[in-house]
Structure 1
Amino acid sequence: MSKVLITGMGIISAIGENLAENHESLRNARTGISKATHFESHYATLLPFGECKISNDKLKETLGLESSPGYTRTCLLAIKAFTEAIEDAQLSPDQLSSFDTVFISASTVGGMCLTDQLYKDANLRSDGSEYLDAYGCASHALKIINRFRIRGFSDTVNTACSSSANAIMLGARLIRSGRAKRAIVGGVDSLAKYTVNGFNALKILSESACKPFDEERDGLNLGEGAAYLVLESEETVGDKKVYAGVAGYGNGNDAHHPSAMSDDAIGAIRSMREAVESSRISFGEIGYVNAHGTGTRNNDEVELYGLSKLFKDIPPYSSTKSFTGHTLGAAGAVEAIYSVLSIVSSELYPSLNVQNPMSARPIAAFERNREITYALSNSFGFGGNCTSLVFGAVR
């Protein structure tokens, strides 16, 4: 099987509009969680969010889409991160259009970020807006496919919070099996009344900045963002810059509850075990865990339990959702990029806001000069869809 190498990364989140800005914020423990200024909702004045600081108008200007109709914020964020990733990997137009190049994206909200407009259009309370074909989960992916003339296999994944981790896993499997030479993988989600109202109904939104793995944790902060990685087979890369490799992956679905993980962490344990075993390494070789770490009572307790069952000593771990908020379908790709940055830069990024840590204390402060050969990134979705990825250094 061919090795899967990462040659490009692009990201936009609450802590930066590109890869460099995100990295700088991680190093300086600079959170992006604050009051929302672009998201219009009753809760925008009441709750903190991980909102991207750039406006839709500025995004359109940056992308040269000022006069192009039908682009939701989800589409704009996706194109911004996708463009950075393919430029970072130096992919040519011919490579993008090659049938050996696959594109797998992910989203949970999709075009439903325009909740009010969707309601009007669906109930014939409008004359038909410019967004009629933009409400689907795959609408952002179709915009990218048309804009960049992608002709190879494409797919859009929606498994809630594990969506873009599954996109990465699928892309890596296609390369390993020889079905593709390269894969552009990741995901996007933007803030929406649809999700904010839904999570609020579950009573799991915190009224303050989230504190994953704190005994006094009281919920999550919703965020938005987009992140994409370019994966290429070892034979295709040549002398190109390589960040790291996708060493392994695992998925388990315990189907325990629509929105809660099972107390015995069946899905989480299975996904982590499969990811490490498929990497052909021992659990002791994992030097960092980017935890799913939502800050809810259920998730953090179950995830720590699962880690304790697999590791003799839990490795250094943190939840970078304390920087970005929970970006839902984008979370797996956002945190994959942060895991790769940790490996490449020999750095550990903290869990912010933790005052009274749970039994196994997360990383408390930024640490440099920490050699990390393998990092594990967890993404656990609604319905018990749990995905874990292992990234490895390329020496």
Structure 2
Amino acid sequence: MGRVVVTGMGIISAIGNNLDENYLSLHQGKSGIDKAIHFESVYTASLPFGEVKLSNEELKKSLNLLGEKGYTRTSLLSIKAFEEAIQAAGLTAEDLSSFDTCLISASTVGGMCLTDQLYEDANMQSEGSEYLDAYGCAAHTIQLIERFGIRGFTDTINTACSSSANSIMLGARLIQAGRAKRVIVGGVDCLAKYTVNGFNALKILSESPSKPFDENRDGLNLGEAAAYLVLEAEEITFGKKIYACVAGYGNANDAHHPSAMSDDAVGAIASMRQALTSAGIGPEQIGYINAHGTGTPNNDQVELEGIKNIFGTKLPPYNSTKAYTGHTLGAAGAVEAIFSILFLNHGEICAGLNVEIPLDANFPPSSSLRENVKLDYVLSNSFGFGGNCTSLVLGKYL
């Protein structure tokens, strides 16, 4: 069995409506954190968000869905990114309908982005809205299946903020096990009252742009995004552009707390170590770490301790791209995997934003754009509620 390679990528986030726009924002150090325009909440006046700049109507127009019923913002974002990914990979209708093609998507919010409408429907305060079939976590996946004629194995993962990293891991494993030749993986989440109110109750939302790995970090900014990657078995990709390979992965759970990581970073250390072992490389071969880096007091301290445990005093450049997009929850793992692959392909590392006083002065995050960097492997971390920790090793295709 050959390698698992990436032949297509698609993304929409607060810093761009497609792959090229996202790369340009990263290259220019341009954050998407700002006041929300489309999201309606009592907190939009006081909290910044990483909001996609397109309205639902603009998304529908771009997807030729004007007049169609039952599409939540979650579904619209997922279709937008999915279409870009499969077009980049050159997948045909025959490819998509093959039983050798699988789809593993991820989401935490799903159709619960329509919190008010869900309440009205559930309490029979409406006559039954167009969204009755759209509230579940897997609703967007079902709409992708129906729209693109997918007949192979499909699944929807919800392991909180590690969800789409786990979709990438599962997709790679299906290919390596010979269960599939091609798996489209990724995830989506949009801004929702459900999550904003929940994170606000945890007292971990910042009133300013987040400061990952800064001594004075005070919380995260919620964002929305969708990101998908086309994974294929190397032997079926003759003539195709290959962006990277999924070299390794690791998943562990520290089972410490419903919403916080253990202080001794058990899960984080285990997932990173497993990923390196799976890739068959040593820590010294990692050229960059795209950290989970939420900007919360607990996560950044624990993650940095875990990184130092693995890499010792020879830490590679690291930072968190959530300062650009906000924390996109179930989409974050796929978003940051795509960013990591962009860095591999362009030989650069984006500037880490908003760090004034590094959490550890001896090991500060990378804070300025680095160009002409030799990158063979990058490590991308995604850590979720309940201590579900996933790390991916993405490698340059040679």
- TM bracket (short chain): over 0.9
Give the RMSD, CA atoms, in angstroms: 0.5
- The answer (yes or no) to whether the contact 1:111–1:135 under 8 Å persists in 2 is yes
Corresponding residue number in structure 2 for 1:276: 276
Corresponding residue number in structure 1 for 2:331: 330
How far did residue 45 of structure 1 move? 1.1
Q: Return the letter of the residue paired with 2:342.
A: L
Q: In the TM superposition, what are the counterparts of 1:79-94 in structure 2 within 5 Å?
A: 79-94=79-94
Q: Are 2:372 and 1:369 equivalent residues in the alignment?
A: yes
Q: In the TM superposition, what are the counterparts of 1:298-317 in structure 2 within 5 Å?
A: 298-312=298-312, 313-317=314-318
SS at match of 1:378: strand
Corresponding residue number in structure 2 for 1:357: 358
State the alpha-carbon separation in 1 of the partners of residues 350 and 158 from structure 2.
Answer: 28
Corresponding residue number in structure 2 for 1:19: 19
- The answer (yes or no) to whether the contact 1:350–1:362 under 8 Å persists in 2 is no
How far did residue 260 of structure 1 move? 0.2
SS at match of 2:366: coil
How far did residue 351 of structure 1 move? 1.6
Which structure 2 residue ranges, 5 or more long, are not aligned?
none
Question: 1:298-328 deviations in whole A, cap 9, x for unaligned?
Answer: 0000000000001031110010000000000
State the alpha-carbon separation in 2 of the partners of residues 250 and 183 from structure 1.
Answer: 18
Taking structure 2 as the reference length, what is the TM-score of the superposition?
A: 0.99
- The answer (yes or no) to whether the contact 1:319–1:350 under 8 Å persists in 2 is no
State the alpha-carbon separation in 2 of the partners of residues 327 and 161 from structure 1.
Answer: 8
SS at match of 2:84: helix
Structure 1 segments of 4 or more deviating over 6 A?
A: none
SS at match of 1:387: strand
Q: Are 2:36 and 1:33 equivalent residues in the alignment?
A: no
Question: 1:149-203 deviations in whole A, cap 9, x for unaligned?
Answer: 0000000000000000000000000001111101100000000000000000000
Corresponding residue number in structure 1 for 2:203: 203
Q: In the TM superposition, what are the counterparts of 1:1-395 in structure 2 within 5 Å?
A: 1-312=1-312, 313-359=314-360, 360-395=363-398
State the alpha-carbon separation in 2 of the partners of residues 371 and 72 from structure 1.
Answer: 42
State the alpha-carbon separation in 2 of the partners of residues 255 and 122 from structure 1.
Answer: 33
Q: Return the letter of the residue paired with 1:339.
A: S
Count of matched residue pairs: 395
State the alpha-carbon separation in 2 of the partners of residues 70 and 55 from structure 1.
Answer: 16
State the alpha-carbon separation in 2 of the partners of residues 232 and 328 from structure 1.
Answer: 25
State the alpha-carbon separation in 2 of the partners of residues 208 and 129 from structure 1.
Answer: 36
State the alpha-carbon separation in 2 of the partners of residues 331 and 206 from structure 1.
Answer: 18
Taking structure 1 as the reference length, what is the TM-score of the superposition?
A: 1.00
Which structure 1 residue ranges, 5 or more long, are not aligned?
none
State the alpha-carbon separation in 2 of the partners of residues 181 and 236 from structure 1.
Answer: 8
State the alpha-carbon separation in 2 of the partners of residues 121 and 318 from structure 1.
Answer: 43
How far did residue 2 of structure 1 move? 2.8
Question: 1:321-346 deviations in whole A, cap 9, x for unaligned?
Answer: 00000000000000000000010100
Q: Return the letter of the residue paired with 2:299.
A: N
How far did residue 239 of structure 1 move? 1.4
State the alpha-carbon separation in 1 of the partners of residues 45 and 91 from structure 2.
Answer: 42
SS at match of 1:208: coil
State the alpha-carbon separation in 2 of the partners of residues 213 and 371 from structure 1.
Answer: 24
State, as a whole percentage, how many aligned pairs show the same letter.
67
State the alpha-carbon separation in 2 of the partners of residues 82 and 318 from structure 1.
Answer: 27
